[in-house]
């Protein structure tokens, strides 16, 4: 069911940036836009008036107006912005370390059969254990809380990056390698010109899944083991029964997650411009 959009104005109007933007807005402002506004608006209204209407379950939540009010208060506090800064730092560090370890190990495993055969069983023993279950071990092992949170974030992103790197590097059409070898390229050329570029798209895929898991892990670790960060603030608000504040934290975490996925996507289209991103 491919989207068969009318090819109106496919000439000059779509060439300029303004023309392209107009076209995008015009094609969005159709049925889908209307339906989206309709459904989100309905849910918002039901949520706002859940208590007067006596709706079950939703009336346990504070209405959106209260959430907006709470957010105004929270956005002015230092606690909130410190939470952002700390969570972002943990995500960035844990995620980057996962890339720095996962990508080289994955490439090594994909290119060197013996190391694949040796390392893969270890991966298969450890990987099925949910990363959340590592939280206690991590707290016991690492000397500081900060390091244990970082380790959990690292672990969340690591497996998926490793597996995607291996998958990408071992699914390269052998004809490319054969062609390069018969044209006289060395092993080094083969790596830099064939294997690495061909693996980049699946590394980016692994990264975009990995950043999602990394956010899950940072929230879990902060809720359970942390004393700071957005996840801790979320749990703390719940414990003191400030539910509106809790919802503000949820939305903030959602925004943070969305922005970081977008950054990965942009990075992907920067390092692998030939690959069309979904």
Binding site for another protein (CB under 8 A): 1-2, 31-32, 34-36, 38-40, 43, 57-58, 60-61, 114, 117-122, 124-137, 139-143, 212, 215-216, 219-220, 223-224, 231, 234-235, 237-238, 243, 246-247, 249-251, 253-255, 257-258, 261
CA-to-CA dists, residue 160 to 5, 103, 163, 227, angstroms? 36, 10, 5, 28
Contact 209, 260 (CB under 8 A): no
Q: Which of 147, 135, 133, 160 lies closest to 93, judged by CA?
A: 147
CB of 21 to another protein, least distance (A): 20
**Six-digit token string for 174:** 């052998």
CB of 113 to another protein, least distance (A): 8
CB of 170 to another protein, least distance (A): 15
CB of 16 to another protein, least distance (A): 29
| Residues composing the chain | 278
Taking the least distance from each CB to another protein, the nearer of 124 and 174 is 124
Contact 230, 249 (CB under 8 A): yes
Cβ contacts of 248 within 8 Å, gap of 6 or more? 67, 70, 71, 74
Q: Compute how many other C-beta atoms are within 10 angstroms of the C-beta atom of residue 270.
A: 9
Alpha helices in 171-241 (DSSP H): 174-182, 187-189, 196-224, 230-239
Taking the least distance from each CB to another protein, the nearer of 199 and 245 is 245
CA-to-CA dists, residue 110 to 118, 151, 208, angstroms? 12, 25, 21
CB of 12 to another protein, least distance (A): 29
Q: Compute how many other C-beta atoms are within 10 angstroms of the C-beta atom of residue 20.
A: 13
**Six-digit token string for 224:** 């359970």
CB of 264 to another protein, least distance (A): 12
Taking the least distance from each CB to another protein, the nearer of 16 and 130 is 130
Taking the least distance from each CB to another protein, the nearer of 76 and 124 is 124
Taking the least distance from each CB to another protein, the nearer of 11 and 121 is 121
CB of 259 to another protein, least distance (A): 9
Taking the least distance from each CB to another protein, the nearer of 57 and 183 is 57
CA-to-CA dists, residue 155 to 6, 41, 50, 96, 171, angstroms? 47, 39, 41, 11, 25
Taking the least distance from each CB to another protein, the nearer of 47 and 107 is 47
């Amino acid at each position: 069911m491919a989207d068969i959009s009318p090819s109106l104005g496919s000439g000059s109007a779509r060439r300029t940036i303004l023309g392209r933007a107009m076209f995008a807005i015009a094609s969005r402002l159709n049925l889908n836009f209307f339906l989206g506004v309709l459904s989100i608006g309905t849910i918002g209204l039901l949520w706002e008036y859940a208590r007067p209407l006596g709706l079950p379950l939703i009336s346990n939540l504070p209405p959106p107006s209260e959430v907006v009010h709470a957010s105004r208060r929270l956005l002015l506090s230092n606690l909130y912005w410190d939470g952002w800064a700390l969570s972002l730092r943990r995500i960035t560090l844990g995620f980057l370390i996962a890339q720095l370890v996962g990508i080289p190990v994955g490439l090594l495993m994909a290119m060197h059969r013996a190391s694949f055969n040796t390392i893969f069983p270890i991966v298969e023993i450890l990987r099925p254990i949910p990363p959340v279950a590592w939280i206690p071990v991590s707290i016991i092992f690492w000397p500081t809380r900060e390091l244990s949170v970082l380790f959990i974030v690292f672990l969340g992103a690591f497996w998926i990056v490793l597996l995607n790197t291996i998958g990408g590097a071992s699914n390269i059409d052998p004809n490319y390698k054969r062609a390069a070898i018969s044209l006289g390229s060395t092993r080094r050329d083969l790596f830099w010109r064939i294997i690495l570029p061909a693996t980049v798209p699946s590394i980016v895929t692994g990264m975009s899944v990995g950043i999602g898991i990394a956010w899950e892990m940072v929230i879990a670790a902060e809720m359970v083991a942390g004393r700071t960060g957005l996840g801790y603030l979320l749990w703390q608000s719940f414990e003191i029964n400030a539910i509106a504040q809790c919802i503000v934290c949820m939305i903030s975490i959602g925004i943070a997650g969305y922005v970081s996925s977008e950054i990965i996507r942009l990075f992907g289209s920067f390092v692998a411009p030939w690959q069309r991103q979904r």
